[in-house]
């Protein structure tokens, strides 16, 4: 179950970054839902890096958030196995 939740969260972050990089239509309902979910799940890590290039900022910040979720998720999975 933890792996499924972790996979969903990481997929949301990946989609959000891809939508920003490729300038997806924010009016599209799916893109909008992914954007809202990503902003909710980023938990304050959305503005850790503030480079001059906003696109780079999104990639770095959501990449960091994905990495944090991945590490914590793996720790939870290991602890549940014991």
Identify the pLDDT of residue 67.
95
Q: Is residue 82 a contact partner of residue 60, using CB atoms and an 8 Å limit?
A: no
pLDDT at 9: 96
* pLDDT recorded at residue 64: 94
* pLDDT grade for 82, boundaries at 50, 70 and 90: confident
Q: Average pLDDT, stretch 52-79?
A: 94
Residue span of the structural domain in which 47 resides: 2-81
pLDDT band at 62 (very low <50, low <70, confident <90, very high): very high
- Total structural domains in the chain? 1
Are the CB atoms for 73 and 65 separated by under 8 Å?
no
Which pairs with CB-CB distance under 8 Å and at least 24 residues apart come from 14-22? 14/66, 16/58, 16/62, 17/58, 17/59, 17/62, 17/63, 20/55, 20/58, 20/59, 21/55, 21/58, 21/59
- pLDDT tens digits along 30-56: 999 999 999 999 988 888 988 899 999
């Amino acid at each position: 179950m933890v792996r499924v939740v972790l996979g969903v969260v990481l997929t949301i972050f990946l989609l959000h970054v891809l939508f920003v990089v490729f300038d997806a239509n924010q009016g599209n309902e799916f893109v909008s839902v992914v954007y809202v979910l990503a902003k909710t799940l980023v938990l304050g890590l959305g503005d850790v890096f503030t480079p001059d290039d906003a696109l780079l900022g999104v990639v770095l910040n959501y990449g960091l958030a994905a990495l944090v979720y991945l590490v914590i998720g793996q720790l939870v999975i290991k602890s549940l196995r014991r």
